Structures are given as structure tokens and as C-alpha cells.
Amino acid sequence: MLVIGLIVILPFLVPCKWRVFLVLPLGVFQVYLPLLTLGGAPISLAFIVGASFWRELAEKKAILLSRPLFAIVVLAAIVLLSLLWSSDVRLGLAGFSQIMVFVLTACGCVYQARRDHRWVIRAFTALFCLSVVQMASVIVFRLNPDVKMVFLQSQIAKIFINENVLEALFMEGRNNVFDVVKSGGFGFVNGNAASAFAGLLVMAAIGLASAYRKRSYYIFAFTAFGSIYFTGSKAGLILMLALPIVAFTLIYMRRTGRRYRMFLPLAMGLIGVVAFSMYETVGLNSGNEFGGAVEDTTEVRLVMWNYAVSAFFGSPILGQGFGGWQEGFAPYANRYGFSQVLPPHNTFIYLWSQSGILAVAVGVWFSAILFKLSIRKYDDKEARGVAFALGFGFLWLTIQGMGENFGLLGDNHMIPVLAGLLALALVRLKRKTKVVPHGKPTVEAWRGGDSNPTLHADGRPEGLPRTGFLRSCDQGRRNVYAASGD
């Protein structure tokens, strides 16, 4: 009851801007406190603050009409419906609540960004500062596994990691953090998830640094980038070299025009050479251990995906429901000598298994919306930076999610980050101006969708400072009023 009470009362005690400032940094360490439980499950402060944006959603329900959030609401409805044929309703409710926290957090960030987007940027600054501690812990735990084990068995670990997860970690729910070449730092018991979180932060920091001229963000990006190696994630290690090449190649082609698009196959070939070279020559310890580890991991994944194919033909439309994979895969686990029943290790297979083929379709739809939003050509530097942060951050999660279990939106650490980036995109990428025949400016989609803002005598939207507002463009033939962004 305490958790529900906090979610209900928090919007009346803490202004939206401060809750936005809290929810993004809390994504790093979550923060679990002893009394914060719901149905026997520990609930983090990050979850409570994220869920507290219900009031902002109630005031601005139209936020849900934006295509990305509408798609996620549809997905949440499908997940809720799939509880009817699920054997583990508790697991399904956990998945549903995770999706809704993403929606609420994004709505809260959109609400604040429309009023003053600088608070969202400040929240990202705090997030990046705390992430340095997380990345440093990843490096320390990798270099000294004994320190990692002491931390996992300490009371301090229960503040940063779900207590139920910690208890299962030393029993039937063992995870790869026990591997000496894996490290999750303070917040993760899985090195692969830690690397995906770091990759998301790399792309977010680079994009926002460009958008808002925050040079210090490049330091945070470099720190997160370097920590990926120490997580021990093989997919993360390949992506940390391949994805930046893809990103900057696409940016270069977008800026230089169509005539250079012929070089795209060359760029893709270069990425293939880099990935193959790493597979053949890079080892986390010595020799060719990296390539051998990749082969071993792939073999295990193929066993799971082979079962997924056979299970799909058994129930292609409805899937297996929550808990169905664990029941159906158990014989496979025994046959192949697995110590535990492993999840699908693929975002879209997991969506199908839990909620059916419609969930997969909506997941693909949502992904397509984000990628389309991100690859558009924007004239404004801020818009380009925000688009880069959202598009390539989500792309990192999507690619690595094809072999992991953190889902379409990431795990609890990634959800606030992705929600904040989406909110900035929904608000800042919609601003545009146009000149009507009689020469007076009209402002469309000001602050995320207001097509009729109150204008001053000089044509400025209400709330926009005069400084930097009027600028000359189009070779001096006409004047265009454009929002300065501050």
C-alpha cells in the first residue's frame, strides 16, 4: 500500500520538473528500499517516480495520440489481453507495468519539455554524471572479480539490485555475472545488459552533445564507450566498433546528398571486415578465445531458436502466454544439459511467445516509427542531434536485443533513458516554421503540437524570448521567423 500511496500522492508534493530530474538519474541505480514492496516484490524508486506521471497524462491525454506512444499503448493492451491464456499471470503483470512506466515517463518528460525542455537536459546531465560511477564499477569488477563477489553478497547490493534477483542469483537463477570475464557493475547481474545500457548512453551522449553544445557529454560518451569492453559482452564489443561506422556513414551521406550513396555498399563491406577481424583475432583474455566464445554462445542460441520455430507452429497467433516458454522449453533444457530453463534471447521471439503475433507486429511498427523519425533530414542542428540520440540509441538496443532478453524497450535501467529521448524527439523535432503568401509567419506544432499559439506583435510565439528570434535566410530574399530553442 505504501508504494501505491506514494505513486498517488507524489505528483501533488513534487513538481513535474523535479520528478523528471529524478527519474532519469534513478535509471542508473534504481534504488530499492526495504519498505517499498508490492505483492512481495521489491519496487524501486525509479519505478515509483516514473509511475507518478499519471497526473501529467491525465491533464494532457493528447500526448498518447503521437504515433510512437500510441503504438506502445496498443502493445500494452495486447499484453494485458494475453493474460487470459497465460500460466504465469504475475509475470505478465510485471511486463505490463514495465510498459506503462515507459509510457508514463515519456508523457511526463513531454509535458515538461513543452514547458521548459532545459529541465530534461539537466536530468540527462545528472544521468550521465551518475553513469560514470556505474561504468567505473564495471571496470573495477572486471579487473578484480573478488571485489565483484564481495559486493554481490553485501547488503549494499540490495539497494541497487532487486533483492529477489540477488537471492535467485545464488540459487536457480544464476547469471553470467559470475563469469570472470563478465562484469555488470553496481546495477546489473548480466554483463550483456550492462553493455547495452552503456551503448545506449554512448549514442544519447553524442547526440545530445551535438544538439545542445554540451562538450562535457563527449567525456561521458567516451567513458561509457570504454566500459563496454570490460562488460565482456561479445555483441557489445562488435557493436562498439561497427555501429559508429554505420552512424557516421549515414550522417555523411545525408549531408552530402544522393551522389555519395553509392558508397553505402563499401561502408557495409568495411563493417563486415571489422566484425570478421574481431571474430578472428580479438580475445578478451588471449589467443582466439573471443571467436570460440562467440561460437559457443551462438550454439546455445540456436538451440533456443530451434525450439521457438517448432513452438511457433503449435500456436502462431496467440503465442504461449506468459510462463508458456518456461514450461515448453524445460524438456529442451534437460535434453541439452542446460542447468536452467533459458529465456528466448531474442526480442521478437519473446514478444511472440508472451503475447502472440500481434505483439510482434506492433513491436515492428513501433521500431519503424522511431527509425523513420530519426533518419529524416533536419535543417536544425538541435533536431539532428536529438534524432541521432534516439535513432541510434534504439538501434543499439534493437540489434543487441536480437540475442538478449531485455525486451523491446530495454530493462528497468534503459526505460527512463529511452523515454526521455523519445520525449525530446516528440517535442523538439516537431517545431517548424513556414512563410505564407502575404509574408507573415505562422508557427506550426509549437511546443509539440500547438498549431495556434498566442503571438506577440512581432510574430513571436508567447513565451519565446526576442533574442535570436529574427534571422535572415534564403539569400536575403525574405525573412523567416524561427524558434531559437531557448
Instruction: Express each pLDDT in 260-316 by its tens digit.
Output: 555 555 555 555 555 555 444 444 443 445 555 556 667 777 888 888 888 898 889
Write the burial class of residue 396 (CB in 10 Å: 0-12 exposed, 13-18 middle, 19+ buried). Answer: buried
Residue 7 has pLDDT above 90, yes or no: yes
Q: What pLDDT is stored for residue 438 in this prediction?
A: 42
Report the alpha-carbon distance of residue 447 to residue 459 in Å, rounded: 16
Residue 30 has pLDDT above 50, yes or no: yes
Write down the pTM of the prediction.
0.82
> Comparing C-alpha atoms, which of 472, 464, 469 is closest to residue 482?
469
- pLDDT value of position 234: 84
User: Of 112-126, 221-235, 445-459, where does mean pLDDT reach its minimum?
Assistant: 445-459
Best CA proximity match to 235, nearest among 362, 71, 387, 347: 347
The pLDDT score that the predictor gives to residue 378 is 81
In angstroms, rounded to a whole number, what is the distance separating the alpha carbons of residues 103 and 416? Answer: 10
Block residue for cell numbers 533530414: 377
Residues 6+ away with beta carbon under 8 Å from 65: none
Assign 415 to helix, strand or coil: helix
Q: Is the pLDDT of residue 363 over 90?
A: yes
* Structure-model confidence comparison of residues 3 and 171, the more confident one: 3
Least confident among 136-145, 259-268, 413-422: 259-268
Region 218-227 average pLDDT: 92
- Contact between 26 and 409 under an 8 Å Cβ cutoff? The reply is no
Q: What percent of the chain has pLDDT over 70?
A: 77
17-35 average pLDDT score: 93
Position 457 pLDDT exceeds 80? no
User: Span 7-21, mean pLDDT?
Assistant: 94
Query: Is 258's pLDDT higher than 70?
Result: no
Q: What are the pLDDT digits (tens) for 151-191?
A: 998 899 999 998 888 888 877 666 778 888 888 889 898 88
Strands 41-44 and 32-38: antiparallel
The mean-pLDDT minimum among 9-13, 138-142, 170-174, 299-303 falls in 170-174
User: At residue 334, does pLDDT exceed 90?
Assistant: no
Q: What is the largest CA-CA distance in the chain?
A: 77
Q: Report the pLDDT value the prediction gives residue 294, as an integer from 0 to 100.
A: 58
Q: Which residues contact 314 (CB under 8 A, 6 or more apart)?
A: none
pLDDT of residue 246: 74
pLDDT tens across 313-332, in order? 888 999 999 988 888 888 87
pLDDT at 40: 81
Instruction: Check pLDDT > 60 for residue 60.
Output: yes
Distance, in Å, from the CA atom of 27 to the CA atom of 412, rounded to the nearest integer, reads: 7
pLDDT at 404: 85
- Total length of the chain: 486
Q: What is the pLDDT, as a whole number, of residue 374?
A: 81
Nearest CA to 360 out of 65, 153, 74, 12 is that of 74
Residue-averaged pLDDT of the chain: 81
- SS (HEC) of 72-140: HHHHHHHHHHHHHHCCCHHHHHHHHHHHHHHHHHHHHHHHHHHHHCHHHHHHHHHHHHHHHHHHHHHHH
**What is the Cα–Cα distance from 395 to 367, expressed in whole angstroms?**
9
Exposure of 368 in the CB half-sphere (CA atoms within 13 A): 7
Residue 247, CB half-sphere, CA atoms under 13 Å: how many?
25
Burial state string for 79-100 with b = 16 or more CB within 10 A and e = fewer than 16: bbbbbeebebeebbbebbbbbb
User: What are the boundaries of each domain within the chain?
Assistant: 124-428, 432-486
Q: Which is more confidently placed, 201 or 440?
A: 201
Distance CA 224, CA 80 (A): 36
**∠ CA 447-211-48 to the nearest 5 degrees?**
65
* Nearest alpha carbon to residue 435 among 484, 474, 473, 479: 479
3-state helix, strand, coil split of the chain in percent (to 5) is 65, 5, 25
Question: CA–CA separation, 138 vs 118, rounded Å?
Answer: 30
Three-class SS state of 443 = strand
Cell of 152: 554481490
Residue 479's beta-bridge partner residues?
Answer: 472
- Would you say 367 and 394 are in contact if contact means Cβ atoms under 8 Å apart? yes
Q: Contacts by 67-73 with C-beta closer than 8 Å and gap 24+?
A: 67/369, 68/366, 68/369, 68/370, 68/373, 68/422, 68/426, 69/103, 69/106, 69/107, 69/422, 69/426, 71/362, 71/365, 71/366, 71/369, 72/99, 72/102, 72/103, 72/366, 72/409, 73/103
Q: In which band, very low, low, confident or very high, does the pLDDT at 251 lie, cut at 50, 70 and 90?
A: low
Range in 2-11, 70-79, 308-317, 427-436 the model is least confident about? 427-436
pLDDT given at position 479: 38
Q: Is the pLDDT of residue 446 over 60?
A: no
Summarize the confidence of residues 450-470 as an average pLDDT. Answer: 50
